[in-house]
Amino acid sequence: MTDLKSRLGEAVTAAFAAEGVASDKIRVTASDRPDLADFQSNAAMAVAKAHGTNPRDLAGRVAARLEGHADLTSVEVAGPGFINLVVSPASLASRAAEILGDEARRGAEPVEQARRVIIDYAGPNVAKPMHVGHLRSSIIGESLKRLFRFRGDQVWGDAHFGDWGFQMGLLIVACADEGLGTQFMATEGPFPADIPVSLEDLERLYPAAAARAKAEPEFRDRARKATAELQGGHAGYRALWAHFVAVSRSALEREFGALGVTFDLWNGESDADPLMAGMIADLETKGLLVEDAGARVVHVAGPGETRKKKLDDGSVVEVPSPPPLLVVSSEGSAMYGTTDLATILDRRQRIDPELILYVVDERQAEHFEQVFRAARLAGYASDGELEHLGFGTMNGPDGKPFKTRAGGVLKLHDLITTATDKARERLKEARLGDDLAPEAFDDTARKVAVAALKFADLSNARTTSYIFDLDRFISFEGKTGPYLLYQSVRIKSLLRKAGDAVPAGTAIRVDEPAERDLVLTLDAFSGAVADAYDKRMPHLVAEHAYRLAQSFSKFYAACPILGAEDVGVCASRLALSQGTLAQLELALDLLGIATPERM
């Protein structure tokens, strides 16, 4: 089952080849002038000069070879060499029937060769509540996980839990100073099974301890010692740490659940710790680990890869670019990059993935370049197996990363609550959901809120930043998540009035311009999914969902459905409505957006 653009692309390529022209520049795209054609090819203008011919003449010869093609009603040459292609009603009807009958994929093609893929996203931490800074990674990562899985890959979504390092030592000494979990300060058990600290305790203790460590060297040294003893196997600290992890993860799962974000793996930094010593020894054996001002680093820049650096005295020197990866500090501690490198090795041994995607803020680009290069040098990964999918920031009206009015970081729980309250208001203002029971109304409001937040994020290219504007995001008009939910609910209402079922064997008819536009949009789903997958850009699926909703709205306005005088036309249009709903809900599901039944 191939989409029309791909089929026509093959036909056009073959026609050029018959004229002795072969080039990777030969392609077919959706027409820039849908009033004149469905598809077009500008290839003649791109290749004619290299083949010593006139582009319009070449286009004319290619067009002549395409005359009579089974999928086409007409082939015309326009301007300096545009080839305009109009698809026949019969081919559109046939393609629509294929899409409607494909219940699992709705016309989208799977990958030719499935891979084992790990997607690292969200990056939550012990004792730290989720905030808006986690939102983009969580939303984009979840969508990519769904997209890759839909295309046929075996995918593991990994939260890469921040559960190790100095912050654990800070919490341990903070608990000790407050008399919390005193039984866990011993080096031998048994230890209580009851959790000695609450999430509220952790959220209160951590920022206070972090501030105290900056101001009090004695407290900082105690925390460092506790961290070293924890990582060295102190039984009481390990037991207390396990409670920190459990209470934090339980709360995080609730927050992620509210967003429709799930993980297959909750592997933390601690899971890579047992590999650290062996990995460091391996790097040393391979001659990659070198001394540098008391620390031990891996030089990852290639010969001649440098950048200019301005020193404190104003002078400028050439330094390696990217900088060396710091593996062991001058104090003997493993570093952030060391953990990431060991995590790659851990994943290699546990799953042996063919691709690992890291959905992390673009500002971490240099860090991942260092880690990836070190991994390739050490033989832990091959070229093309590690990708950092950086993303822009969610900004406030001032264009800077979003803050609360008080200047703090907004907790994700508070953001979802605010969005849900706003959704309730908008539903009531629009007189939507008036006939719903209270529980159903609240469920719809939550779905509207999540759709607003997710679509606002995913309708932007991953690499760009955007301005947070909840009032605009939660509107039922324009390019928003709530608008798409409203369109899906409207189709469901239509199908309920029709009795839901479309007669078996319904023949699809594509006669009116709005019907053609709708079928061509349905056909474009396969290309949108493939492009989003190849480019790691979920916004391409979001764009398709919006175009599909718009196409259906035009179809609904221009083509009577239940009021159609002809029974066959009515059945055909109901079938197209049913297929549109199915593809729209599938596209939204790939974005992590659930639709309500009524509104």
What SS3 class is residue 31?
coil
pLDDT at 528 over 90: yes
Is residue 118 included in any domain, yes or no? no
Domain shared by 187 and 275, yes or no: no
In tens, the pLDDT along 562-595 reads 998 899 999 999 999 999 999 999 999 999 999 9
Residue 115 lies in a domain: no
User: Is 218 in the same domain as 310?
Assistant: no
Q: What is the mean pLDDT of the chain?
A: 93
Pair (387, 421) in one structural domain: no
234, 255, 276: which is the final residue of a domain? 255
Q: Which residues contact 126 (CB under 8 A, 6 or more apart)?
A: 161, 162, 163, 167, 168, 171, 202, 244, 245, 248
Residue-wise pLDDT tens digits, 248-259: 998 889 889 999
- Do 450 and 387 fall within a single domain? no
Assess if residue 132 is contained within a domain: no
Q: How confident is the model at residue 596 (pLDDT cuts 50, 70, 90)?
A: very high
Question: Which residue shows structure tokens 């390092």?
Answer: 165
pLDDT at 503: 75
List of residues 6+ apart from 129 with CB closer than 8 A:
199, 203, 251, 255, 411, 412, 413
Same domain, 290 and 232: no
Same domain membership, residue 508 and residue 417: yes
- Peptide bond preceding 322 in cis form (omega within 30 of 0): yes
Mode of pairing for the β-strands spanning 29-30 and 82-87: unpaired
| CATH code, 530 | 1.10.730.10
Question: Is 377 found in the same domain as 444?
Answer: no
Is 502 inside any structural domain? yes
Residue 402's pLDDT is 78
Determine the Cα–Cα distance for residues 82 and 77; give it in Å rounded to an integer. 5
Residue 595 domain flag = no
User: Which CATH number belongs to the domain containing residue 40 in this structure?
Assistant: 3.30.1360.70
Total domain count, the chain? 4
Residue 124 falls inside a structural domain:
no
Please check the confidence at residue 418 and state whether its pLDDT lies above 80: yes
**Pair 518, 552 in one domain:** yes
Query: Can you tell me the mean pLDDT for 34-53?
Result: 93
Is residue 127, in this structure, part of any structural domain at all?
no
pLDDT score for 507: 93
In this prediction, residue 407 carries a pLDDT of 60
Q: What pLDDT sits at residue 480?
A: 97
Q: Assess whether 443 and 493 both reside in one domain.
A: yes
**Per-residue pLDDT band at 228 (split at 50, 70, 90):** confident
Residue 376: CATH number of its domain: 3.40.50.620
Are residues 386 and 471 both part of a single domain?
no
The confidence band for 500, taking pLDDT boundaries of 50, 70 and 90, is: low
138-171 pLDDT tens trace? 999 999 999 999 999 999 999 998 898 889 999 9
The pLDDT confidence band at residue 405, using thresholds 50, 70 and 90, is low
Note down the domain range covering 217: 166-255
Asked, for residue 150, whether it belongs to a domain, the answer is no
One-character DSSP codes across 371-416: HHHHHHHHTSS-TTSEEE-----EE-TTSSB---TTSSPPBHHHHH
Same domain assignment for residues 444 and 329: no
Nearest Cα residue to 134 out of 451, 448, 453, 417: 453
**348 with 453, same domain?**
no
> pTM for this structure?
0.93
